[in-house]
Amino acid sequence: MRASHLEDFYSFLRFPSISTDDDYSERVSECAHWLVEKLTGIGLKAELVPTPGHPIVWARNQHREGRRTVLIYGHYDVQPPDPLELWDSPPFDPVLKDGYVFARGATDNKGQILSHILGVQETMEQRNELPVNLHFVIEGEEEIGSGNLGNFLHQHRSELGCDVVVVSDTGMIAPHTPTLSYGLRGVAALELKVTGAKIDLHSGIFGGAVANPATALAQLLATLHDRNGHIAIAGFYDDVAPLEDWEREAWKKLPIDVDAEVLKETGAPALFGEAGFSTLERIWARPTAEINGVGGGYQGQGTKTVIPSHAIAKLTFRLVPNQKADEIIALAKKHLEKNLPAGVTLAMTSGHNGPWYLTDPYNRFGQAAQRALQKAFNAQVALIREGGSIPIVSDFRNVLGVETLLLGLALPGCRAHSPNENFPLENLDAGIRMNQAVMEELATLR
Amino acid sequence: MRASHLEDFYSFLRFPSISTDDDYSERVSECAHWLVEKLTGIGLKAELVPTPGHPIVWARNQHREGRRTVLIYGHYDVQPPDPLELWDSPPFDPVLKDGYVFARGATDNKGQILSHILGVQETMEQRNELPVNLHFVIEGEEEIGSGNLGNFLHQHRSELGCDVVVVSDTGMIAPHTPTLSYGLRGVAALELKVTGAKIDLHSGIFGGAVANPATALAQLLATLHDRNGHIAIAGFYDDVAPLEDWEREAWKKLPIDVDAEVLKETGAPALFGEAGFSTLERIWARPTAEINGVGGGYQGQGTKTVIPSHAIAKLTFRLVPNQKADEIIALAKKHLEKNLPAGVTLAMTSGHNGPWYLTDPYNRFGQAAQRALQKAFNAQVALIREGGSIPIVSDFRNVLGVETLLLGLALPGCRAHSPNENFPLENLDAGIRMNQAVMEELATLR
């Protein structure tokens, strides 16, 4: 690891580029400016593209006819560091410990996107040239929903024309195991409000005569699943594509004990999920209906003998091929209306949604990525899906018409979004090699 | 209405005797001192009895052998006036409008207890003597659970020896309808905490592999009732005494349309309750299991895709004769443990409880009370139970060994505990007459 690389990493990490907090807008902007300077310094033409929110950093080399064009996407904004008291060192004052750099954004996404920048830097230094036409698109709003990225893609659609997108914002299945993620789940949100009386009622004076919205909501939510973890909404699974045989076989061979790891990571008393499926299938290839939040009535200390006037629940569904968010939300609404207990009213509000993603890891770009990963890590490549959602990947497909290679460098213990986020320097190094290898493979691909 | 009575009422109401707020301790104390002075002024021997909390005001006339002894209980503390912006006039600056006095505590309990004090005053002025041996016990902690009253009763048990207790802290079924409440429901609290993972989890990364505590809690709470509003806890109704025929008949004749009134007061979209029972039976004579509060995960604006680490619910059961709080809590715990969904743990904490109360309105004291009510209001007496709980009434039975006559003067629209609390001056007058009549009836009772 060159000293200048570590210096760059620390400089990048010292910006508290917290996109969700308006108090930090200036620091977010400073971070973007630093990136422009860095990208210019390594020989690219870099610019800040203003948006109604935080700016997008866009950098290119000199494009030439007849070369393949690659777009590398990343983000320079980070999650807030709270709760601060759980950090062992200040979140924006990076420290190196046993080969790991601890700081907010170390993995998500500064370490990962920087390894691509440093990979390009090394190639430029070695050859004064890149083997491909390159775009860096590094946004500042990923942690708040990428609200302005779609518009940027639409506006610059022709200039951004490319053959493939590379993203390092996913995970490695285990340390030293290069990982290509070829699938993501989608997400669709729905909020429920069950209302009874116009005000909280005295549960002595009125208890028994009118419905309790918290009880009605519990009864309603209890209809979402059977006790085997199967979702009970009529038609919910109609479009779910079964896992392909090669996937089931490949996942069995992954070098992890996923059951033990999930138990350890979560501290849950037991695994629990849809009967008839393995843990990986449940997370990567089966849809879910989760209650993200529920609330109503008195939640403080002690007792307050009220019948709440209303109770709310926030739901999200994780979707898999070939479910469509709009159809799932419509089915869910129909189910909830049908199962509403007596004596209350129900209001439902659909929230954001993002589609699932599935690409063929054995198409020519996928094969190139596998070769590059194998070369950079000198180890067998794991082919996985992920349970999370990265809606922008579908934007790349829909707006630019290209597939995305998800070449994650995040380790299972990286604590992205949590206190003591960290990134191993060996992954920064591996990322640099991976960037060079993947550019080379994509350039020479027939 | 004598001008001095109105002056006394206004003086009493001007003290912001908010027992729950430490900032008001001095004002609570001033209110207690005012009462001692007032009671001394009408010829009683009055004292302040200090407690670890707010003092108890205790006043007696000269007791004589061979007379019946009556204890009149009330409280001088009030609920906080919040939300202030919903008051049409300042809560501690009483105003008279169309015969109603508006102020915090006007009904609960200053107007009601003052009518007894003024009744005693008038009798003393007329006869320089009362027909009974009298105790006034007026506490300052009713709105915060009467935590020190039981100890006071125990400590002064022999001095407080009496034949019957009179309390005006309940309701009249309708204006101009004198009302004797002969039953109250009990209450027992139980708090649940369902826990899954040790921290909130990313619902993409882990969704499907571990149980969601909010889902598990909903499923658990949904087992408490069937869809007919019947409580599904095994053994829950075993000790419930059926309503007596005379009660059902008497309630049918009450001069109110209770269904219409509950709909109007609550604004609920419909009535809902245990199938097979009328609204009054459901409120007054059937037990309930209410969720007073529920919470877990993200309840703010928008979406946060977490699997909550835990979810809580606060339950209270309203109990009726002959249910025992401890047994009901034990049955509920057993039911909840048995119905706990897989993959989560359950912790349960019992809260406060208070027994139901039922007395015979046709025993000799009840008959005396009915005669007094009839005389004071010149109208037929309504015999009712109430759905709320007044645990101290059981203390009077258990510690002093006597029954309590609940002679409420609160009207349905009195807004006790709410903004614009009010009390009609005609009820202050009626309360004065009622006090005199009930003392006389109790004195002359064979």
Tens of pLDDT, residue by residue over A51-79, are 999 999 999 999 999 999 999 999 999 99
Residue B417 has a pLDDT of 85
Q: Which residue has the tokens 């469509």?
A: A324
Residue A328 has a pLDDT of 98
The Cα-based distances of B443 to A5, A22, B134, B138, B179 in angstroms read 98, 75, 11, 22, 21
Residue B5 has a pLDDT of 97
Mutation for A interface: B181, B205, B278, most A CBs within 10 A:
B205
A305 inside 8 A of chain B by CB? yes
Domain ranges of chain A: 3-184+356-444, 186-240+287-352
What is the pTM assigned to this prediction?
Answer: 0.91
The CATH topology of domain B186-240+287-354 is: Alpha-Beta Plaits (3.30.70)
Distance from CA of B202 to the nearest CA of A (A): 8
Residue B437 has a pLDDT of 98
Residue A446 has a pLDDT of 80
Going by pLDDT thresholds of 50, 70 and 90, the confidence category of residue A279 is: very high
Other Cβ atoms closer than 10 A to B239: 15
Does domain B3-184+356-444 fall under CATH 3.40.630.10? My reply is: yes
Residue B344 has a pLDDT of 98
Tens of pLDDT, residue by residue over B254-269, are 999 999 999 999 999 9
Residue A397 has a pLDDT of 96
Q: Which residues of B touch A147 (CB under 8 A)?
A: none
Tens of pLDDT, residue by residue over B31-40, are 999 999 999 9
Among A198, A293, A417, select the one facing B296 at the smallest CB separation. Answer: A293
Going by pLDDT thresholds of 50, 70 and 90, the confidence category of residue B145 is: confident
Q: Is the dihedral of CA A359, A361, A367, A369 positive or negative?
A: positive
Q: What is the DSSP letter of B172?
A: -
Q: Which residue type is seen at A444?
A: T
- Whether A144 shows a pLDDT value over 90: the answer reads no
Q: Do B387 and A297 touch (CB under 8 A)?
A: no
- Whether A412 shows a pLDDT value over 90: the answer reads no
Q: What is the mean pLDDT of residues B198-206?
A: 92
Q: Which residues of B touch A283 (CB under 8 A)?
A: 205-209
Among B208, B288, B294, select the one facing A295 at the smallest CB separation. Answer: B294
- Whether A196 shows a pLDDT value over 90: the answer reads yes
Q: Which residue has the tokens 């400016």?
A: A33
Distance from CA of B124 to the nearest CA of A (A): 37
The Cα-based distances of A107 to A103, A409, A426, B37 in angstroms read 9, 8, 12, 73
Chains A and B: how many Cβ contacts under 8 Å? 299
Distance from CA of A41 to the nearest CA of B (A): 37
Distance from CA of B272 to the nearest CA of A (A): 4
A256 inside 8 A of chain B by CB? no
Strands of the sheet with B100-102, listed across from one edge: B95-97, B100-102, B422-424
Q: Do B215 and A201 touch (CB under 8 A)?
A: no
Tens of pLDDT, residue by residue over A427-439, are 999 999 999 999 9
- Whether B357 shows a pLDDT value over 90: the answer reads yes
Phi-psi region of B123 (alpha: psi -120 to 50; beta: other; left: phi over 0): alpha
Q: Which residues of A touch B211 (CB under 8 A)?
A: 268, 270, 272
Residue B413 has a pLDDT of 87
Distance from CA of B379 to the nearest CA of A (A): 25
B246 inside 8 A of chain A by CB? no
Long-range contacts of A279-284 (CB under 8 A, 24+ apart): A279/B209, A280/A251, A280/A254, A281/A243, A281/A248, A281/A251, A282/B208, A282/B209, A283/A387, A283/B205, A283/B206, A283/B207, A283/B208, A283/B209, A284/A183, A284/A185, A284/A251, A284/A384, A284/A385, A284/A386, A284/A387
Going by pLDDT thresholds of 50, 70 and 90, the confidence category of residue A315 is: very high
- Whether A83 shows a pLDDT value over 90: the answer reads no
- Whether A145 shows a pLDDT value over 90: the answer reads no
Distance from CA of A313 to the nearest CA of B (A): 8
* Smallest CA–CA distance from B412 into chain A, residue: A205
Quote the CA–CA distance of A410 and A427 in Å, as a whole number: 8
Distance from CA of A435 to the nearest CA of B (A): 26
Residue A352 has a pLDDT of 84
Lowest mean pLDDT, pick from B56-60, B325-329, B386-390: B386-390
B316 inside 8 A of chain A by CB? yes
Tens of pLDDT, residue by residue over A354-369, are 999 999 999 999 999 9
Q: Which residues of B touch A286 (CB under 8 A)?
A: 208
Q: What is the mean pLDDT of residues B194-216?
A: 95
Residue B50 has a pLDDT of 98
Q: Which residues of A touch B212 (CB under 8 A)?
A: 290-291
Contacts of A276 (CB under 8 A, 6+ apart): none
Quote the CA–CA distance of B121 and B41 in Å, as a whole number: 9
Residue B418 has a pLDDT of 87
Q: Do A266 and B303 touch (CB under 8 A)?
A: no
Does domain A186-240+287-352 fall under CATH 3.40.50.620? My reply is: no
Quote the CA–CA distance of A224 and A292 in Å, as a whole number: 14
Q: Do B270 and A211 touch (CB under 8 A)?
A: yes
Q: What is the mean pLDDT of residues A208-236?
A: 97
Percent of chain A with pLDDT over 90: 91
Distance from CA of B327 to the nearest CA of A (A): 20
Going by pLDDT thresholds of 50, 70 and 90, the confidence category of residue B239 is: very high
CB interface of A with B, residues 28-67, below 8 Å: none
Residue B177 has a pLDDT of 97
Q: Do A211 and B272 touch (CB under 8 A)?
A: yes
- Whether B303 shows a pLDDT value over 90: the answer reads no
Going by pLDDT thresholds of 50, 70 and 90, the confidence category of residue A302 is: confident
Q: Which residues of B touch A288 (CB under 8 A)?
A: 203, 207-208
ipTM of the complex as predicted: 0.91
Q: Do A203 and B288 touch (CB under 8 A)?
A: yes
Q: Which residues of A touch B294 (CB under 8 A)?
A: 214, 217-218, 294-297, 299, 308, 311
- With beta carbons less than 8 A apart as the criterion, state whether A338 and A224 touch: no
Q: What is the mean pLDDT of residues A184-210?
A: 95
Residue B302 has a pLDDT of 84
Q: Which residues of A touch B345 (CB under 8 A)?
A: 269
Going by pLDDT thresholds of 50, 70 and 90, the confidence category of residue A301 is: confident
Mutation for A interface: B219, B228, B236, B344, most A CBs within 10 A:
B219
- What is the average pLDDT score of chain B? 96
Quote the CA–CA distance of A403 and A366 in Å, as a whole number: 9
Lowest mean pLDDT, pick from A132-136, B89-93, B298-302: B298-302
B408 inside 8 A of chain A by CB? no
Q: What is the mean pLDDT of residues B186-198?
A: 96
Among A198, A292, A303, select the one facing B297 at the smallest CB separation. Answer: A292
Other Cβ atoms closer than 10 A to A21: 13
Among A265, A290, A418, select the one facing B212 at the smallest CB separation. Answer: A290
- What is the average pLDDT score of chain A? 96
Distance from CA of B343 to the nearest CA of A (A): 5
Residue B352 has a pLDDT of 84
- Whether B63 shows a pLDDT value over 90: the answer reads yes
Tens of pLDDT, residue by residue over B4-29, are 999 999 999 999 999 989 999 999 99
Going by pLDDT thresholds of 50, 70 and 90, the confidence category of residue A418 is: confident
Other Cβ atoms closer than 10 A to B334: 13
CA angle A300, A305, A306 (to 5 degrees): 90
Q: Which residues of B touch A386 (CB under 8 A)?
A: 204-205
B387 inside 8 A of chain A by CB? yes
